[in-house]
Structure formats: C-alpha cells, structure tokens
Amino acid sequence: MAMKMGFRWFGEGNDSISLADIKQIPGVTSIVWSLHHKLPGEVWEKEEIAKVQKQLEPYGFDMDVVESVNIHDDIKTAGPGRARYIENYIQTIKNLSQFGVKVICYNFMPVFDWTRTNLFFPLEDGSTAMYYEKAMIQDDPRQMAEYILSKQRDGMTFPGWEPERMARLDELFAAYRGVSKEQLWANLIYFLEALMPVCRELGVKMAIHPDDPPWDIFGLPRLIIDEAAIDKLLSTVDDPHNCLTLCSGSFSANPKNNVADMVRKHCKRIAFAHVRNVRHYPNGDFVEVSHRDRDGHSGILDIVKAYHDCGFEGYMRPDHGRHIWNEKCRPGYGLYDRALGIMYMLGIWDMLDKLKQGKG
C-alpha cells in the first residue's frame, strides 16, 4: 500500500476540466467526485453512481473517494427529519460501497460551507486566488451569501452554497439559533454512532473536513477547528472508520494550528489529505497561495514529510489552487495550479522515498 494521489473533479458538464486533461497529470490515480446535483438528505441512487463509474472507467481512475455527501441541516440541528435523513445517509453509504467507495469526505459546518470574501484576489505575480478579509465578516451573512452566489457562473453551483438553501437563509439561521456548541457536538456524535455499524460492515471511512475558516462566524458555532477538537472527535467515537479529511489550508488559516503535528499525532486516522498553502497577514486576513513552501505559512514541506514519515497510505489531493495563465475555471479549482501543486508534492514524496531506500 502506498499514498494515492487524487484530483477533485466536479463531473461531466459541471467542470471546465476534462478527465483526459487530468489523465496527463503524472501520478493521479483517484478521481475525487460527487453527485453535485443532489441536495443534502437525498439518497444517491445506484444508477446515478453507475453513470460516473462509466465515465471514469476508460481512464483507469478509481472512484474510492467521494467529496462530499452533504449532511442535512436536520441532522446538524437534531431537527424533526433527523431519523429519516440518517436512514437516507446509510442507504447512500450502502449504494456507494457497491461501487468500491472507501472514503466519504463530509463536513459539519452550520449553514455555510467554506467562506471567503474575495474569490479572485489579485496576487503580486498577476494570478488571482481566494482571499478572506476578517473585517468583512461582520453581522450580516446575507451580503456575503449574495457575493458568493453572484460568482456562480454558467450554472455551476458551489457545494455547500446551494441556491435552494441560501434562499432560506433566515429560516436556516432560525433553526440554528437554539443550537449551542455542545449540542452541535452531541448531534455530530449521534450521527457518527448511527453510521459506524454500517461503516464497519462495509469498510467505509467517514472523513470529516475541518471548518473553514477554523473559528466561529456570524455567531454560528464551529466544531473542527484545532487539535483539541480532533482529539475529542477521534476519542469520543474511537473507531478506525471515524476518520479525518485533514485539510492543511483550513487548519492553518489559524496560525496557532500546526498541521504537521496533527499528521504525526493522528496519521492512522487520516483517510484523506488536502494539501494547501495559506499566507497570513498580521490583521488576521489570509490568502491561498501556490503549494511552494516558501510562498505561504502552512509549512508544506513539514506536512508532506510528516505524511511520508508516518507511512501514510490514504488518499491525498492538492486543495485549492490559484487561477493562472488566464484559465477560466471554478474558483480554487483550476487545472494548472493544482497540477503544479501535485508535481511539487510528488517531487517531495519521491525524493523522500529515494532517501529512505538509500538508508535501507
């Protein structure tokens, strides 16, 4: 077993990048996929999954990792539909496992998924990248939701920012109003404990993605924000199928988080690694930069080395990249910069392999 390199793809007709393009990036064996037309709570039907399988097959890509099967708000808030939506989720796991899916990346963020204030911030080299301006995230989430939704071009919606959900923003905020951080934790644990028996039976790992950014926004509690939260999650549901999607970019948006330490501590429980580099500004703003270690503050060299040192056998992918060479693409998900990121990561990895063999 060895680390497996993946690439996130939004699906036929939903991504500017083709599978043929991805095939030409050295080292990629896994397509990280999803059914982006499904709303949280719906069962993913076998016929829909089979369609994706047919598309990947000619290229020899595996479909082992799904990102994401989103969680219905009733599961996060313990709302009236919780039991039904958990049942649907379990059915989706069963259907996915018939196609060889081994890892499901998901998140437990209330109302909003990842949050940025500028999706096309100009960097000094002429490229653009996603930027988070702390001062812009004040009391009114509607302004930010409108900005994000206005950037959804050509019918491509962002996962976690479904217009159907954003249209009900007031209603969603009302549903979370009574949910404290402790209750949100209890609801996450309840959800995972309900899933673990079927995950054990089918060998499917649930891999939670951290909250992005890793702090409370708009008065909404956020759970997976630091090492203490990871410790709590993994020890409370202490099952090898309760795992992490360790996103270096999300965690390192808070300079106090040391991602390489997290890797060393929890290597065996990391099913999926997102590798991304972030540059901090003294006022708390941050921007996503190239994967090259010295371009940002995430510590990419230390992180990749930590994975290599611990014998990581999970899936890895470059996370967001910049928009370079005038590429028209989904924010953060262009072909070119992510391909550069892969070559940087594999360059480090292959050299560490070679050094290790030399020693042996």
Binding residues for Mn ion (CB under 5 A): 247, 274, 319
Whole-angstrom Cα distance, residue 272 to residue 64? 11
Residue nearest to Mn ion (CB): 247
Matching residue, tokens 């009114």:
140
33 - beta bridge partners?
66
Distance CA 79, CA 95 (A): 25
Do residues 305 and 349 make contact, with C-beta atoms less than 8 angstroms apart? no
Out of 209, 241, 266, 323, the active site residue is 209
**Active-site residue 209, yes or no?**
yes
Distance in Å, CB of 214 to Mn ion, minimum: 11
Q: Considering beta carbons, is residue 44 or 106 the nearer one to Mn ion? A: 106
C-beta of 10 vs 85, nearer to Mn ion: 10
CA angle 274, 307, 94 (to 5 degrees): 55
Catalytic residue among 85, 307, 333, 336: 333
Nearer to Mn ion, 159 or 240 (CB): 159
- Catalytic residue flag (residue 308): no
Strand pairing partners for 274?
247, 317
- Verify whether residue 323 is a known catalytic residue: no
Residue 205 is inside which H or E element, if any? strand 205-209
What's the closest the beta carbon of residue 12 comes to Mn ion, in angstroms? Answer: 23
Q: 28 or 86, CB closer to Mn ion?
A: 28
247 annotated active-site = yes
Burial of 138 (0-12, 13-18, 19+ CB in 10 A): exposed
Least distance CB 250 / Mn ion (angstroms):
5
Q: Sign of dihedral through CA atoms 165, 167, 171, 173?
A: positive
Q: What are phi and psi of 8, to 5 degrees?
A: -80, 130
| Closest among 117, 138, 38 to 85, alpha carbons compared | 38
CB of 243 to Mn ion, least distance (A): 14
Spatial contact of 43 and 95, defined as CB atoms under 8 Å apart: yes
> Which is the catalytic residue, given 291, 319, 323, 337?
319
Q: Catalytic residue among 199, 243, 247, 329, which?
A: 247
Do the Cβ atoms of 341 and 360 come closer than 8 Å?
no
Residue 85 or 160: which CB sits closer to Mn ion?
A: 160
Tokens (6 digits) for 261? 């330490």
220 DSSP 8-state letter: B
**Shortest approach of Mn ion to residue 317 CB, angstroms?**
9
Q: How does DSSP classify residue 236?
A: H
The residue annotated as part of the active site, out of 85, 320, 329, 344, is: 320
Cβ proximity to Mn ion, 247 vs 306, nearer residue: 247
State the nearest-atom distance from the C-beta of 34 to Mn ion, in Å: 13
Beta strands 242-247 and 205-209, pairing class = parallel
Residue 315 Cβ, how far from Mn ion at the closest point, in Å? 13
CA–CA gap between residue 277 and residue 289 (Å, rounded): 6
93 Cβ contact list (under 8 Å, min separation 6): 69, 104, 195, 198, 199, 202, 204
Cβ proximity to Mn ion, 162 vs 211, nearer residue: 211
Q: Catalytic residue numbers?
A: 209, 247, 274, 319-320, 333
